[in-house]
Amino acid sequence: MKLTNLLRQLLFLILTLIFSLGFHSCESKTSKDTSSKELVSLKEAYKDYFPIGVAVSPFSLKDSIERALILEQFSSMTPENVMKSGPIHPEIDRYNWRAADEIANFARDNGLKLRGHALIWHQQYPEWFFKDQQGNQITKDTLYARMRSHIHTVVKRYKDVIYAWDVVNEAVADSTHMVYRESSPFYQIAGEEYLVKAFEFAKEADPDAKLYYNDYNAVRPEKAKRIHQLLENLIQSGAPIDGVGIQGHWSIYEPSETALRNALDLYSSLDLEIQITELDISIFPWEKHQRPLKEGENKGFTPELEQKQIAQYQMIFEVFRDYKDALTGVTFWNISDRYSWLDHYPVEGRKNYPLLFDTELQPKKVYHKIVNFNQE
């Protein structure tokens, strides 16, 4: 009886040993397989081309998985909202630094590059910015004093960590017959000169920062022409501008390769740096105006849409690589399909799948194509 028990125990021990050895060798085989298939991260794959960035919120930095993904994949960040004038400067004599500081500190602690976004914009500004105490529109001089004070305070606070700023955002009109967005309160008070002033104030505050003009639909031929005109005007007025930001809110339907190459050629001819500042590839056609969800629109990420998105991402990254001498950065707008601003804009509640990581934060097929571009 005693002997049988002993034998049983021995048999159990031997089996456990065999099983655990087998399991371990299988595990190490799997991780080996993965590492040989999955070459590197985005930032590693593109280290000889341009830094790869991502738009973040302080919220995403609190999620340990998102934080790890940012550190693993990206070499640069852009605050998605918290450095815009509305959130950061809610009252004339009060700044709200907390959220912006969290992002800046994360960048400082982890050695990430940081792009500032956005100093002067006709959206997400605080109500007080254009009004006096009686609620009347301020004069041009007061506007410049406020712009100067705002720009100096924000830019100086993050001077050690922000290497580039979107100084003016989206100043070109939507209607094709004019260059400037004349409905912007900045334009209404000061005319086109406000752009030059914004760049001058930013330069005073941080002479070392790269100063950008940033816009959307910037590779559509018609708008590219007007953005080019605005940039030429800025340069001629002596504005200290270093670069142009092409937002890159694109879709599986646009841009075409020709339009993209032509726009990059056009902007390069001005001798400005170029960055892709807000890249995402929507599965829906671009629309400007917000509207309600239509029935049947939430059709999910079908294999057909996925194929189109892969082809579009592959095409644009091939072009980006060709233009690596002109491009000084490519930044994705949000981290993964778990959350994208395109889930809310232009249609609230219409789920989009515009990024390289899926809703579980796992790399999508398209990620592998973009990273392993040498193996095509």
Active site residues: 170, 278
Instruction: Give the shortest CB-33-to-ligand XIL separation in angstroms.
Output: 37
Residue closest to ligand XIL (Cβ): 341
- Can you tell me the distance from the alpha carbon of 114 to that of 262, in angstroms, rounded to the nearest whole number? 28
DSSP 287: -
Q: Of 50-89, which residues contact ligand XIL (CB under 6 A)?
A: 80-81
Rounded to the nearest whole angstrom, what is the least distance from the CB of residue 337 to ligand XIL in the complex?
Answer: 14
For the CB of residue 55, give the shortest distance to ligand XIL in the complex, in Å. 7
* Tokens 């950065």 sit on residue: 329
- Chain residues 93-132 in contact with ligand XIL, contact rule CB under 6 A: 118
- Coil, strand or helix at 114: strand
Interface mask toward ligand XIL for 165-204; x: CB under 6 A: ----x-----------------------------------
User: What is the smallest separation between the CB atom of 131 and ligand XIL, expressed in angstroms?
Assistant: 22
Q: For residue 55, give the nearest of 312, 277, 325 by alpha carbon.
A: 277
Nearer to ligand XIL, 247 or 352 (CB): 247
Write down the least CB distance from residue 374 to ligand XIL, Å. 32
- 341 part of the interface to ligand XIL, by CB under 6 A: yes
Q: Is 337 in the site for ligand XIL (CB under 6 A)?
A: no
Which residue's entry shows tokens 């450095």? 83
Nearer residue to ligand XIL within complex by CB, 283 or 310: 283
Tokens of 116: 């500032």
For ligand XIL, give the closer residue by CB, 278 or 337. Answer: 278
Residue 22 burial by Cβ neighbours in a 10 Å radius (0-12, 13-18, 19+): exposed
Q: Quick one: 51 or 354, whose CB is closer to ligand XIL? A: 354
Q: Is 247 in the site for ligand XIL (CB under 6 A)?
A: yes
Is residue 282 involved in binding ligand XIL (CB under 6 A)? no
Nearer to ligand XIL, 86 or 142 (CB): 86
What is the number of residues in the chain? 376
- Which tokens sit at 77? 């960040």
Task: For residue 363, give the amino acid letter.
Answer: P
Q: Quote the least distance from Cβ 106 to ligand XIL, whole Å.
A: 18
Site size for ligand XIL (CB under 6 A):
8
Are 235 and 270 in contact by the 8 Å Cβ rule? The answer is: yes
DSSP one-letter string for 130-172: GB-TTSPBPPHHHHHHHHHHHHHHHHHHTTTTEEEEEEEE--B
Q: Which amino acid is at 275?
A: Q
**Closer Cβ to ligand XIL, 85 or 169, answer by number:** 169
Q: Where are the beta strands (DSSP E) in the chain?
A: 52-56, 76-79, 113-116, 120-121, 162-169, 210-215, 243-246, 249-251, 273-282, 327-332
Backbone angles phi, psi at 215, to 5 degrees: -155, 165
Cα–Cα nearest to 49, from 75, 77, 70, 78: 75
Structure tokens at 376: 């095509």
CB 44 within 8 A of CB 73: no
Looking at the Cβ atoms of 29 and 98, the one nearer to ligand XIL is 98
* 180: three-class secondary structure by DSSP: strand
Q: Tell me the closest approach of the beta carbon of residue 278 to ligand XIL, in angstroms.
A: 6
Is 286 near ligand XIL (CB under 6 A)? no
What part of residues 214-233 is at the interface with ligand XIL (CB under 6 A)? Answer: 216
Bridge partners, residue 79, by sequence = 56
- Give contact residues for ligand XIL (rule: CB under 6 A): 80-81, 118, 169, 216, 247, 278, 341
